[in-house]
Amino acid sequence: MHPNRCAALTIGGSAIGFIAEADPDMVQDSLDMPTTFGRLACFEIDLDAVAASSPGAARYRPVPRFPEVTRDLAMVFDESALFGAIEQVARDAAGPFVESVRLLSIYTGERIEPGKKSVALRFTLRAPDRTLTDSDADSAIAAAQSALREELAAADR
């Protein structure tokens, strides 16, 4: 490791890992990397020690085995509608496969009536035990769209 570009990672004075830049000469000689490659860094961290340091605070999810499905939805809302409310209604209605609901854009302009805004959302969906079908994803989005119409008086774009 580079002697001046390394650090110990500690929690409460106990070492739980390190982070360091690899020695550039070693990288060039041992790995046969060109000098234009840039810097190479590495780290090691004891995640069990991190989790033990604050029980209940650390959460771990294994890397998903099945692919995500994304769907976009744009609807028109009153200008006063808050994204937090839109996200919560959409997430609750879309069901258990929702990993995230992200804001893509907010549009106000000549194609949207005054006092309204078009809000575009991106849904990321995934099942823990299988690959979702188009029908699964479409049903989740249809449920979110229906709930947004009913609860927040949204309109289709």
Tokens of 23: 């020695």
Is there a single domain that holds both residue 48 and residue 96? no
Instruction: Residue 84: give its domain's CATH number.
Output: 3.30.70.380
One domain for residues 104 and 141:
yes
128-156: average pLDDT? 96
Same domain, 73 and 49: no
Distance CA 101, CA 141 (A): 11
Within-domain flag for 44 = yes
45 and 74 both lie in a single domain: no
- For residues 138 and 90, state if they share a domain: yes
What does the angle CA 100 – CA 97 – CA 88 come to, to the nearest 5 degrees?
Answer: 45
63 located within any domain: no
pLDDT at residue 57, as a whole number: 65
Q: What's the whole-model pTM score? A: 0.64
Which positions ≥6 away from 68 have C-beta within 8 Å? 99, 124, 125, 126
Structural domain span for residue 117? 69-156
pLDDT tens-place string over residues 1-37: 777 888 999 998 899 999 999 877 777 777 776 767 7
Residue 61 lies in a domain: no
Q: Is residue 1 part of a domain?
A: no
